[in-house]
Chains A and B, each alone.
Chain A
């Protein structure tokens, strides 16, 4: 182990600001390959009725909010679902793979963005990330690879997965 402290004065002057942490990990295609390798997936258009949304909320105990999951199906009934969760400080796109039996096969974070307060809930702020490629996000991230510091809890993603399992029961079984 070799540690080099930058020094009190220098460390205090090297300050970088927002976004503290914004990373694209996987594109949709990469996430599909990572979670369901070698399985051909076809987009499955999903239109939830208000009754279905209510049923999902009731079963999962998690509000739908603006969630609009995108669904793909494999030949043997596998499902690949992309969804988003918005917390107080974060905006996360994640993918869940379900087997033909509806059991979770894997979860991958696709995009993780942190911000504070209103920005996350503000549509315009979020819009700036729409269509961003992995490359663009990496540039945004610069060379800030190692952020030592407390990170957020993953509770919102855990809730999101609960919601997707209810979605499976209500609309995809």
Chain B
């Protein structure tokens, strides 16, 4: 694939840098890149917990009082979130926002929500794209909406023409096209070093690691990942977890459960058609998949 006829663009979206690359420089490809960025911006407007004016924030404000009709995209992401919560026996849970807010990873207003112990089981998806909570809770789609945004962006690009490409939103990467693409991961012990770990064709790989995201709180470094069983953030580590799946939503959501369960993740990964790679300082890359 030559570089002369490719386009590569980046914009600050979803709190990170979103990069889109396509192997075409046609006007159709240019227009598709704009449409793809617009789709990602739309996901941010709908589902960001950081924005007080997002649909998600409105849902958080009143969802425990009355059913709220939401955008089809928000409904789809919630349905996928609950499906993955079920498949991982609650290790993926998008109601852990208060624990993240307490550590400064999310706006402080989300700390208040969530008296008692709400979980993903308190989210009810009703007919007519309506959502209701069984109790007051703070929903945060930060662990899954980015993947969904990547998938929507890829859909816009694929609809525009027969070219290959990739969308990378802060470590949620999806490639499409006829050829397998080499995939590099950052070495969690030294993130400026890249390891070539494999190749991927028409699929997604999402990575969670604390090398950039960790914060120092009360003398210890913590990662923006919550263990739903303890409702507290986990300690920052020199480990990165990457999940490989057909779509970026699935890959994105599963990085958190794999971060918690490590090699014990093989079963739920298989249930979701996924596998994982764990990179740990001082150890060779470890692939986690159910034995065939």
Give A residues with C-beta under 8 Å from B. Answer: 1-6, 8-9, 11-12, 14-20, 23, 25-26, 34, 89, 94, 107-109, 112, 114-116, 138, 143-155, 157-158
Contact = CB atoms under 8 A, between A and B. Distances in A.
Given A89-B212, A107-B11, A6 B203 contact: no
Contact of B168 (A6, A17, A116, A146): A146
A5 B287 contact: yes
| Leading 3 A-B pairs by shortest Cβ distance | A1-B203, A149-B186, A154-B12
B184 A144 contact: yes
B213 A5 contact: no
Identify the interface centre among B173, B183, B185, B277: most chain A CB within 10 Å of its CB. B183
Given A1-B201, A148-B207, A8 B196 contact: no
A152 B197 CA distance: 21
Majority SS at the chain B contact face: strand
B182 interface: yes
A152 B19 CA distance: 12
Contacts of A34: 9
Interface of B: 3, 8-13, 15-17, 19, 21, 166, 168, 170-171, 173, 175, 180-187, 191-213, 240, 242, 244-246, 273, 275, 277, 284-287
A20 B240 CA distance: 16
Given A20-B193, A151-B170, A4 B199 contact: yes
B9 A154 contact: no
B209 A112 contact: no
Contacts of B11: 107-109
Identify the interface centre among A26, A145, A148, A153: most chain B CB within 10 Å of its CB. A148
Given A19-B192, A23-B10, A154-B15, A149 B207 contact: yes
A82 to B, nearest CB: 15
Nearest to B245: A1
